[in-house]
Amino acid sequence: MDDFVYAATDPAELAEYRDEVETWMNENMPRRDPVNPWHPTHDDDLKSTRNRELQRRLSDGGYAAVCYPKEYGGQSLTIAHQRIIDDVSMDFDMPILFSVPTLSICGPTILECGTEEQKQRYIPAWIRGDELWVQFMSEPSGGSDMAGALTRADRDGDTFVINGSKIWSTFAQRSDYALMLARTNWEVPKHRGLTMFIVPIHHPGIEIHPIQMVDGTEEFCQEYFNDVIIPAENVVGEVDDGWTVASRLLFHERAAVGNASPYTQGRHRNRSADGLDDLADIARDFGGNVGRQRQRLGETETFSRVEVLLSDRVVKGIESGYFPAPAGSLVRLFHGVSRADRLTVAMELHGDRALVWNQGEDTGSYGVEFVQRQQTCIGGGTTEMARNIISERILGMPRELAADRDLPFNQVPRSG
């Protein structure tokens, strides 16, 4: 299965649904903080509690993750219904933390590959806001080569014993469970010796270390596993067939990042309006070459508008079957490139104030954001991987030579 099923919907029914959602949101959801609408708090504990509470409210109203099947706590509605909720919710505070990866990446992976017990146990808990999930996929040695995982899971009766390390999990210290890919067989080629596990995060043997980024934030974590014991019932899919599960997970990640997933919920700030007026103000305030600043502002406006149009085209095209599902990588690539450009422009418009500033001013944050710029082209799958996917899976070009393809994993050369 490479595509979602998008049921046809009646426009009149959707219009009615929109009215219903608007009424409900007005009566039940808090409006965004007018001073800081998009990041009301930087306190992680507060963020976690707040998101759980908001998710619970949505769920009580029947507007949480509506594309999930009714038997697991969803509403069995279509992506069109979810997008209506997303539109309407722009003015309201939403449990954005649950959208990615819990509901849109981990969720559909369990829905497709999990056992009946797993689905009944976990899906309703996300929808109600009880449990937040993360992904334990990348490893310090791995980067884009996710199937080269070195974290090991050794069978011991009805349990597995896990040792190793994972990295770049978002908000792990405040989350409850993780989907984790680990190696269960070292005698076979890399894709055939992996298994996907459900791991309780706050569990004996797991240490979580926040990673300090260039800008000082600590959103990402690294985890260390030291003889962590996990019951065999926590395996998702089959033992040694974890790559099948991981491929679905990656598919859902691309869909979520490319705004093509029915399971994302709520929306980040509309990028078309992402502070362009602010940039124009900055350009005036900080002076500099007028001709060049006009060009830079016009370029930024072009990119942000085209990004929205492209995203819309790809979503519609995947729905209609015009694009294959990997077309989400087009949006991913555009976003990476345009965001990096935008951060460059924002710094340049500040002139030397982004480089050297008076104490107490915040113009230096634009310099810092510039230094951290490439994050936007790395996280969630690098732009190089997106280019591989576009050339190989949309244009049909030959796949990259994999030196480790048919080699037993224990014979594959690796770094360090």
Decide if residue 14 touches other proteins (CB under 8 A).
Answer: no
Residue ranges with strand state E in 149-288? 152-156, 159-170, 177-183, 194-200, 206-211, 220-231, 235-236
| Residue 83: CB atoms within 10 Å | 16
CB atoms within 10 A of CB 215: 12
**27, 158, 400, 406: which one contacts other proteins (CB under 8 A)?**
400
Structure token pair of residue 28: 């039940």
Q: Is 395 in the site for other proteins (CB under 8 A)?
A: yes
Q: Sort 192 into a burial class: Cβ within 10 Å, 0-12 / 13-18 / 19+.
A: middle
Binding other proteins (rule: CB under 8 A), the pick from 279, 343, 347, 354 is 279
In the complex, least distance from residue 308 CB atom to other proteins, rounded to whole angstroms: 8
**Cα angle vertex 145, ends 139, 146, to 5°?**
55
Residue 390 touching other proteins (CB under 8 A): yes
CB of 269 to other proteins, least distance (A): 16
CA atoms of 263 and 50, how far apart (whole Å): 20
Give, in degrees to the nearest 5, the angle at Cα 101 between 99 and 302: 70
Contact assessment for residue 408 and residue 189, using Cβ atoms and an 8 Å cutoff: yes
Stretch that binds other proteins, among 22-30, 92-100, 201-209, 275-283 (CB under 8 A): 275-283
Nearer to other proteins, 140 or 298 (CB): 298
Q: How far is the CB of 396 from other proteins (least distance, A)?
A: 8
Nearer to other proteins (CB atom), residue 116 or residue 277: 277
For residue 288, give the 3-state DSSP assignment: coil
How many residues form the binding site for other proteins (CB under 8 A)?
43
Residue from the set 90, 150, 208, 280 that interacts with other proteins by CB under 8 A: 280
- Tell me which residue of 123, 149, 119, 155 sits closest to 136, measured CA to CA: 149
Q: Per rule CB under 8 A, is residue 334 in the interface with other proteins?
A: yes
Told to check if 276 binds other proteins by CB under 8 A, we report yes
User: Quick one: which of 231, 2, 255, 264 has its CA closest to 112?
Assistant: 2
Q: CA–CA separation, 234 vs 179, rounded Å?
A: 10
Q: How far is the CB of 318 from other proteins (least distance, A)?
A: 9
Residue 51's SS3 state is helix
What single-letter DSSP state applies at residue 146?
G
Specify the 3-state DSSP secondary structure of 235: strand
Choose, by CB under 8 A, the member of 3, 22, 341, 392 that binds other proteins: 392
Binding mask 92-111 for other proteins (x = CB under 8 A): --------------------
Nearer to other proteins (CB atom), residue 181 or residue 331? 331
Place of tokens 């490319």: 258
DSSP alpha helix (H) spans, 321-400: 328-349, 364-371, 375-378, 383-389
Given the rule CB under 8 A, which of 17-25, 60-68, 257-265, 396-404 is the region that contacts other proteins? 396-404
Site for other proteins in 292-321 (CB under 8 A): 293-295, 297-299, 301-303, 305-306, 309-310, 312-314, 316-317, 320
Q: Which stretch binds other proteins (CB under 8 A): 13-21, 205-213, 391-399, 404-412?
A: 391-399
Nearer to other proteins, 239 or 394 (CB): 394
CB of residue 293 to other proteins, shortest distance in Å: 7
Which residues are at the interface with other proteins (CB under 8 A)? 276-277, 279-281, 283-284, 293-295, 297-299, 301-303, 305-306, 309-310, 312-314, 316-317, 320, 322-323, 330, 333-334, 384, 386-388, 390-392, 394-395, 397-398, 400
